[in-house]
């Protein structure tokens, strides 16, 4: 196993970059994806021989395919964010000066000073790092590593900044296996600090987002139209309308959908108690312009429609076992404990006046599925390849209407759309949607209610161990919900629809001897929106 390091020194002592979630906060450390985009920009914007350009591109594609790097970070100190006022771009006269009338020129001269004084408020958040470098460290046993590093080194020499134009850097490659003090390691299941990372195919996606070829073709055709006359001009204008029906092509801001959790080395502890489901929920929120809203009672209708859409538009066909829940060769259902994708509702609950309407749906995946495999399968569903922006997913729900969803990549401030709301460590959990019992109790619920509750508690305890959790020390079984806005466990009187006939559904409060990490999905309907639990706070009781 060989190691190599990309070393970054900030020449001014300051790293100036904006956090992608909060424009008033600095991004620190620089996300590996930001470093990669700086390398890609240096490659695309500089000249070299065709052979060298191809070698650089191959090296970047190789770098993007590697696992997330470890980080060695110096002490950093955020500075106060000062608001500054920046003039917008100069007013542009729409036609060539020779074609303007005297009045138009006078009007333009009068407009421009006023336009320039309309300054826009901007923030340039920064972090003081001094002269200590940061290091991104990769371990790889790839073939031709020295050849790739030679080309990558040529790209590094061309990088002048990472982040804002004032964030000047010196970037270089270290080839030695000399150990450095690693401060942060990637952990795909961490729910705290998440950094955007590069992924396979990112070079092509950046090239597509920049859209250089179409922009250059449009500019060339526009110039030919300006210089042409008569019939030729009309023909060229027709060609312009056919090739660019939406007008002038533009560059799109890259959207990085792949991220990895990072944990400080000093805080690494033995594995915490957790379920077999990954805490990195993929949140799809209800679109602002969705034609209809739906309540918790529509859970099965919505999850079935979304499941069918994922199957249809997946980037891998036939869909993998972890998506379908069936063995790819025999078609048989996966064995109990061999997890697969689950879809769970994210309703408005646990607050005063909560009505249980669906704010979104979360895609929950098994921990064992690598992040890059998830991106390969799900990115074509969630992101538009042409615009590199989140897609609006149209779910057709028959006579009930339509629900439009879209990827919530903004880490929403809405409590019930935050993944940590459903996954943070706690000892007491309660069901939001009723749990479908894996088997029917033998005791009679009416004639022997205490025996029935004891037997149901045992079934719930077994459901916990089925998903990798410890056996709970206490289980409280009820028909009524524990959260304001949820529904009763069984149909009737505003209850939850039965998943299938011959089964029984209950609400539960579960207590563990130690804090466990979610998500917790229990029972026979856990992959279809039933049995989703949440850390329980007494103030959220219904």
**Dihedral, CA atoms, 385, 390, 391, 397, nearest 10 degrees?**
150
* Cβ-Cβ contacts under 8 Å for 494 (sequence gap 6 or more): 487, 488
Q: What is the pLDDT of residue 261?
A: 84
pLDDT confidence band for 309 (50 / 70 / 90): very high
- The stretch 59-86 carries a mean pLDDT of 85
Q: What is the pLDDT of residue 78?
A: 83
Q: What is the pLDDT of residue 167?
A: 93
**Dihedral, CA atoms, 45, 42, 36, 317, nearest 10 degrees?**
30
Residue 202: what are its φ and ψ, rounded to 5°? Answer: -70, -30
* Cβ-Cβ contacts under 8 Å for 348 (sequence gap 6 or more): 354, 355, 356, 357, 359, 416, 485
Tokens at 281, concatenated:
């929920």
The gap from C-alpha 148 to its chain's centroid, in whole angstroms, comes to 29
Whole-angstrom CA distances from 231 to 99, 236, 238, 247 are: 21, 9, 11, 22
| Residue range 493-538, pLDDT digits in tens | 778 899 888 889 999 999 999 999 889 999 999 999 999 999 987 5
- DSSP of 170-198: EEEEE-S-------EEE-TT-SSEEEE--
Element spanning 223, H or E: helix 212-227
pLDDT confidence band for 383 (50 / 70 / 90): confident
Query: Residue 294 pLDDT more than 50?
Result: yes
Measured distance CA(173)–CA(138) in Å, rounded: 11
pLDDT confidence band for 12 (50 / 70 / 90): very high
* Cβ-Cβ contacts under 8 Å for 12 (sequence gap 6 or more): 166, 167, 168
Q: What is the pLDDT of residue 313?
A: 87
| Residue range 244-278, pLDDT digits in tens | 888 888 877 777 778 888 888 876 555 678 888 98
Exposed, middle or buried by CB within 10 Å (0-12, 13-18, 19+), for 88?
exposed
Q: Strands, E, within 439-531: which ranges?
A: 474-478, 505-516
Q: Report H helices in 66-158.
A: 102-116, 145-156
Measured distance CA(281)–CA(283) in Å, rounded: 6
On whether the CB atoms of residues 271 and 264 are closer than 8 A, the answer is no
Q: What is the pLDDT of residue 327?
A: 61
Measured distance CA(97)–CA(451) in Å, rounded: 91
pLDDT confidence band for 431 (50 / 70 / 90): very high
Least confident of 181-190, 205-214, 312-321, 405-414: 405-414
Q: What is the pLDDT of residue 98?
A: 46
On whether the CB atoms of residues 412 and 419 are closer than 8 A, the answer is no
**Dihedral, CA atoms, 322, 323, 325, 326, nearest 10 degrees?**
-90
* Cβ-Cβ contacts under 8 Å for 529 (sequence gap 6 or more): 299, 300, 302, 303, 343, 344, 345, 433
257: left (phi over 0), alpha (psi -120 to 50) or beta: alpha
Mean pLDDT, the chain, as a whole number? 84
pTM of the model as a whole: 0.68
Exposed, middle or buried by CB within 10 Å (0-12, 13-18, 19+), for 399?
exposed
* Beta-ladder partners of 475: 510
Q: What is the pLDDT of residue 100?
A: 46
Residues in the chain, total: 542
- Whether cis (ω within 30° of 0) applies to the bond prior to 538 is no
Nearest alpha carbon to residue 542 among 342, 341, 296:
296
Q: What is the pLDDT of residue 538?
A: 55
Residue 521 gets which letter from DSSP?
Answer: B
| Residue range 322-367, pLDDT digits in tens | 888 776 555 555 544 457 899 999 999 988 888 999 999 999 999 8
Whole-angstrom CA distances from 67 to 32, 277, 281, 429 are: 11, 21, 20, 34
| Residue range 201-253, pLDDT digits in tens | 888 888 888 887 888 888 899 899 888 888 888 899 998 888 888 888 887 77
Measured distance CA(248)–CA(221) in Å, rounded: 11
């Amino acid at each position: 196993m060989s190691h190599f390091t990309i070393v970054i020194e900030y020449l001014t002592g300051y790293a100036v970059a904006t956090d992608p979630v909060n424009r008033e906060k600095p991004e620190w450390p620089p996300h590996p994806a930001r470093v990669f985009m700086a390398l890609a920009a240096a490659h695309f914007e500089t000249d070299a021989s065709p052979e060298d350009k191809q070698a650089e591109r191959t090296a970047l594609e190789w770098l993007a395919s590697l696992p997330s790097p470890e980080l060695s970070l110096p002490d950093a100190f955020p500075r106060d964010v000062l608001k500054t006022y920046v003039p917008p771009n100069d007013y542009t006269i729409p036609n060539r000066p020779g074609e303007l009338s005297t009045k138009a020129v006078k009007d333009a001269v009068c407009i421009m000073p006023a336009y320039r004084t309309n300054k826009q408020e901007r923030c340039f958040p920064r972090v003081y790092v001094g002269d200590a470098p940061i290091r991104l460290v990769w371990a790889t046993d790839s073939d031709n590593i020295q050849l790739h590093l030679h080309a990558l080194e040529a790209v590094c020499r061309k990088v002048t900044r990472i982040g804002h134009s004032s964030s000047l850097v010196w970037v270089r490659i270290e080839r030695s296996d000399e150990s450095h003090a690693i401060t942060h390691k990637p952990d795909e299941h961490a729910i705290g600090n998440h950094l955007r990372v590069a992924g396979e195919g990112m070079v092509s996606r950046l090239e597509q987002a920049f859209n250089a070829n179409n922009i250059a073709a449009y500019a060339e055709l526009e110039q030919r139209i300006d210089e042409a006359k008569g019939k030729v001009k009309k023909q060229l204008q027709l060609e312009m309308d056919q090739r660019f029906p939406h007008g002038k092509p533009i560059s799109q801001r890259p959207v990085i959908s792949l991220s990895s959790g990072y944990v400080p080395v000093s805080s690494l502890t033995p594995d915490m108690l957790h379920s077999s489901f990954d805490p990195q929920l993929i949140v799809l929120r209800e679109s602002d312009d969705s034609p209809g809203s739906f309540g918790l009672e529509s859970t099965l209708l919505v999850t079935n429609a979304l499941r069918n859409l994922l199957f249809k538009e997946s980037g891998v066909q036939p869909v993998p076992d972890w998506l379908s829940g069936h063995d790819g060769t025999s078609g048989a259902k996966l064995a109990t404990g061999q997890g697969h994708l689950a879809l769970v509702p994210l309703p408005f609950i646990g607050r005063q006046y909560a009505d249980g309407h669906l704010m979104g749906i979360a895609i929950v995946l098994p921990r064992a599925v690598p992040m890059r495999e998830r991106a390969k399968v799900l990115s074509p569903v969630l992101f538009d390849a042409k615009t590199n922006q989140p897609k609006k997913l149209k779910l057709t729900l028959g006579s009930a209407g339509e629900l439009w969803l879209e990827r919530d990549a903004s880490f929403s401030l809405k409590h019930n759309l935050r993944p940590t709301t459903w996954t943070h460590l706690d000892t007491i959990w309660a069901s939001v949607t009723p749990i479908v019992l894996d088997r029917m109790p033998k005791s009679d619920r009416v004639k022997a209610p205490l025996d029935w509750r004891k037997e149901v508690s045992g079934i719930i305890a077994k459901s916990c161990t089925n998903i990798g959790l410890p056996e709970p020390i206490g289980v409280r079984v009820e028909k009524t919900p524990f959260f304001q806005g949820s529904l009763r466990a069984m149909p009737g009187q505003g209850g939850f629809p039965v998943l299938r006939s011959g089964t029984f559904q209950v609400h539960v409060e579960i207590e563990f001897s130690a804090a466990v990490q979610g998500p917790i999905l229990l029972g026979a309907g856990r992959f279809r929106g039933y049995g989703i639990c949440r850390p329980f706070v007494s103030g959220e009781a219904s």
